[in-house]
Structure 1
Amino acid sequence: MPAEPTIDRSRVEVQHEPALSRYTVWLDDRNVGLLDYVTTGREIRFTHSEVDPAERGQGLASILTEFALDDVRARTDLPVVPACPYVDDWIDAHAEYQDLLTRGR
């Protein structure tokens, strides 16, 4: 199961970089992780996530994934395809995000 955040969220910032089809997570002004996606006319496919090995275990990937999914929910009606195993596991562990998998179909 994905790690729940244990870090002081005031030290964390998440940014959406649409030109790169990517969300990034920053810790104390350092880029420490990313979540890549591909948007088609029919879906948003999350393809890859990673967090700096030195910063793992604090829940940064969870914060990043939650932000990205909330952003997708707010700005589009497309379904999410969690091709990245971490995102797939995260959605499985958070029932309130299950609807993103089937909406718009």
Structure 2
Amino acid sequence: MTEASRDPRDLRYEDQKDASRYALFDGDTLLAVIDYRDDGHSVSMTRAFTVPTFRGHGYAGVLTEFAVADLEQRGDRQVIPMCWYVAEWFEKNPERAGILRAA
């Protein structure tokens, strides 16, 4: 199985609250992170980063999906997409815009 065809369910997601980031792993290998700031009402997603070796396989999108789903499930935060990648992800997924903080 190539990385590009890897089933996202085989990957491990973490909300690393102490580091203020969501992280995506394949086993113990870090693939991508989304850094954030949580003020108790909203989560500002400040940076999406994929480890250069793993770029081009959709891992940032998979991680963004996880982070948004996690926040939607919690139901107590809105999202502020400070990072261009996260902002573009919401543009491509307008059905998820209900979690965005109004400007």
Give the TM-score category using the shorter length. Answer: 0.7 to 0.9
Number of equivalenced pairs: 100
**Cα–Cα, structure 1 residues 12 and 27, in superposed 2: closer, same or farther, change >3 Å?**
same
1:40 aligns with 39
Equivalents in 1 of 2:30, 2:101: separation in Å? 32
TM-score, length of structure 1 as denominator length: 0.83
**How much identity, in percent, do the aligned residues show?**
30
Matched, 1:101 2:100: yes
For the 8 Å contact 2:41–2:76, the answer to whether it is kept is: no
Q: Secondary structure at the match of 1:31?
A: strand
**Structure 2 unaligned regions, length at least 5:** none
Larger RCO: 1 or 2 (CA < 8 Å, sep 6+):
1
1:5-84 superposed matches below 5 A = 6-84=5-83
After TM superposition, give the deviation of residue 6 of structure 1 in Å. Answer: 4.4
Backbone CA RMSD of aligned residues: 2.0
Q: Secondary structure at the match of 2:31?
A: strand
Question: Could you report, residue by residue, the CA deviation over 1:55-83 in whole angstroms, capped at 9, with x for unpaired residues?
Answer: 11111001100000111111133221000
